[in-house]
């Protein structure tokens, strides 16, 4: 459960999570060059992958469920 002020998009939620959970989560989710989660993570908002919506700019509303799956590990 994450409480966020006002209107926020997926990029804002990811930024907040990284701020709260530190370098470990950042290393897992964010590309070190682009500082973006898109290359290394699969992100679903209410079961829909965000590239099927508006990407990192997809609006996140009250009660929405955001799933972040690190792609680049483990076979």
Partner 1 sequence: MKVAPLCTKCGSKPSVYFRPYSGERLCPGCFAASIRERVERTISRFRMFEFDSRIAVGVSGGKDSLSLLHLLVEIEEQFPKAEVIAVSIDEGVRGYRDEALRLAGEACRSLGVEWRTLSFADLFGLTMDEITGRRGELTPCSYCGVLRRRALNQAARDVEADRLATAHNLDDMAQTALLNLMRGDLRRLAGMHPAGSDLPGFVRRVKPFCEVPERESTLYAYLRGIEFQSRPCPYAETAMRTDIRRFLNRMEVKRPGIKFIIYRAALEIIPRISVGGAEPSGRCRICGEPTRGDVCRVCQLVGELSKEAEGEQPS
4 lies in the site for partner 1, by CB under 8 A: no
Size of the site for partner 1 (CB under 8 A): 31
Distances (CA, A) of 49 to 4, 7, 38, 43: 21, 20, 11, 6
Residue 8 DSSP SS3: strand
Q: Of 19 and 46, which has the nearer Cβ to partner 1?
A: 46
2 lies in the site for partner 1, by CB under 8 A: no
19 lies in the site for partner 1, by CB under 8 A: no
Q: Which residues contact 48 (CB under 8 A, 6 or more apart)?
A: none
40 lies in the site for partner 1, by CB under 8 A: yes
Region of 1-9, 14-22, 29-37 interacting with partner 1 (CB under 8 A): 29-37
Pairwise CA distance, residues 41 & 36, whole Å: 9
């Amino acid at each position: 459960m994450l409480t966020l002020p006002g209107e926020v998009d997926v990029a804002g939620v990811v930024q907040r999570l990284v701020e709260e959970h530190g370098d470990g989560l950042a290393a897992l989710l964010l590309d070190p060059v682009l500082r973006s989660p898109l290359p290394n993570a699969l992100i679903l908002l209410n079961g829909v992958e965000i590239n099927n919506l508006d990407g990192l700019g997809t609006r996140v509303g009250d009660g929405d469920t955001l799933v972040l799956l690190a792609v680049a590990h483990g076979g």
